[in-house]
């Protein structure tokens, strides 16, 4: 979940891009004498602007292709079936079928339905004469919007995804400390808001990744080479594993056994929290994450303590709790290692 500052910054950036795009488009249309098509151009410029460069460029291309396709389909309908009531109905059905099918490849192509319907439903002798100037105005607005996203406070989708993942890693660091405290029955921190933030950050990362122009590029030197999908999946697995740890109840253990495992469990929680914060900072800066030997040591110490305690005369439920503590700690350590490996891949 984005902070208030991030929301304001993103809103201000998109607003500035949309304002520049609309003003420049309006000025260009006035200069070339666009007349009644000016509104189409300005609306197009406003429509294509998205929070990221990749999203805007993708939207602009879909707008251009959709406009060309819709206008062509509308004119073809007039030529082939005429402008009678039945002809208009047939043209509308055909355009809806073709453009809806095309939108399966890119949702933005659905916009072609609008110029197609305008052409099909228009009356008078200037239908053909006005169709292509309208398409040109829409294309001009889309191009200006795309240029504005590149020149005015540009922000790539890749940067947005990385920012969301950094936030999710930091929230996982907070959550692992709360999970250890919950397992030991120490403190009752409400983690619902943390869970909601992580869920929101992963969803937004997935959405922005779909707009990234670099989503298929791997091993690119620097932060732009971060393998986004694999990093997002690693963070998701980390979050789900921490949830298992949080639901583990070590309070059912006998007092002497609980004392045996609580020290290595606390040390593991502290080490995992600190390591995740360092790794999140490394991902933000595009630097390789440093190794975390102490985390491995504490994980192994917890495993040994849990397995030694499990050999004593305790019940099945207590033994399962010990094994779950050892298993989740090992899994968390493994996933943190995956995050480190992925951050190193970004360096080439």
5 domain-assigned: no
- Residue entry with tokens 């429509």: 47
Determine the structural domain holding residue 169 and report its residue range: 157-345
Cα torsion angle, 239, 243, 244, 250, sign: positive
- Decide if pLDDT at 180 tops 80: yes
69 domain-assigned: yes
Q: What is the Cα–Cα distance from 216 to 228, expressed in whole angstroms?
A: 9
Look at residues 151, 184, 204 and tell me which one is the last residue of a structural domain: 151
9 domain-assigned: no
Q: Are residues 184 and 132 in the same domain?
A: no
Look at residues 151, 181, 197 and tell me which one is the last residue of a structural domain: 151
Look at residues 151, 167, 198 and tell me which one is the last residue of a structural domain: 151
Q: Are residues 208 and 82 in the same domain?
A: no
Provide the pLDDT confidence category of residue 216 given band limits of 50, 70 and 90: very low
What pLDDT score does 343 carry? 77
Q: Are residues 198 and 147 in the same domain?
A: no
Please tell me the total count of domains within the chain: 2
What pLDDT score does 124 carry? 58
- Decide if pLDDT at 219 tops 70: no
Mean pLDDT of 92-114: 87
Q: Are residues 198 and 104 in the same domain?
A: no
Share the mean pLDDT of the chain. 83
Mean pLDDT of 268-280: 91
What pLDDT score does 141 carry? 93
101 domain-assigned: yes
CA atoms in the 13 A half-sphere facing the CB of 70: 31
Instruction: Give the DSSP letter string of 91-151.
Output: HHHHHHHHHHHHTTT-GGGGGGHHHHHHHHH--STTHHHHHHHHHHHHHHHHHHHHHHHHH
Nearest Cα to Cα of residue 49 among 154, 132, 162, 135: 154
Q: What three-state secondary structure class fits 233?
A: helix
């Amino acid at each position: 979940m984005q902070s208030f500052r991030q929301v304001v910054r993103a809103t201000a950036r998109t607003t500035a891009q949309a304002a520049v795009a609309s003003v420049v488009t309006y000025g260009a249309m006035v200069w070339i004498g666009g007349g009644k098509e000016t509104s189409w151009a300005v609306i197009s410029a406003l429509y294509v602007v998205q929070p990221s460069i990749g999203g805007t460029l993708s939207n602009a291309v879909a707008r251009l292709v959709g406009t060309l396709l819709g206008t062509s389909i509308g004119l073809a309908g007039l030529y082939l079936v005429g402008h009678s009531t039945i002809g208009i109905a047939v043209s509308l059905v055909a355009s809806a079928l073709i453009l809806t099918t095309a939108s399966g490849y890119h949702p933005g192509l659905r916009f072609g339905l609008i110029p197609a319907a305008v052409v099909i439903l228009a009356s008078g002798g200037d239908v053909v004469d006005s169709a292509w100037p309208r398409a040109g105005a829409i294309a001009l607005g889309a191009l200006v919007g795309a240029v504005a996203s590149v020149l005015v406070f540009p922000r790539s989708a890749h940067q947005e995804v990385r920012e969301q993942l950094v936030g999710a890693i930091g929230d996982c660091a907070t959550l692992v400390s709360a999970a250890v405290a919950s397992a030991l029955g120490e403190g009752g921190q409400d983690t619902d808001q943390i869970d909601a933030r992580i869920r929101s950050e992963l969803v937004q990362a997935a959405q922005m990744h779909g707009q990234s122009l670099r989503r298929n590029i791997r091993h690119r030197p620097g932060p732009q080479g971060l393998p986004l999908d694999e990093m997002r999946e690693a963070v998701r697995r980390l979050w789900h594993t921490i949830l298992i740890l949080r639901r583990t109840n070590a309070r059912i253990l006998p007092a002497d056994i609980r004392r045996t495992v609580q020290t290595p469990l606390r040390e593991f929680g502290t080490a995992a929290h600190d390591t995740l914060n360092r790794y999140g900072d490394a991902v933000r800066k595009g630097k390789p994450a440093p190794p975390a030997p102490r985390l491995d040591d504490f994980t192994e110490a917890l495993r040994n303590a849990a397995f030694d305690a499990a050999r004593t005369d305790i019940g099945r439920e207590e033994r399962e709790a010990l094994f779950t503590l050892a298993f989740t700690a090992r899994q968390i350590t493994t996933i943190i290692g995956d995050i480190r490996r992925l951050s190193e891949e970004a360096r080439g």
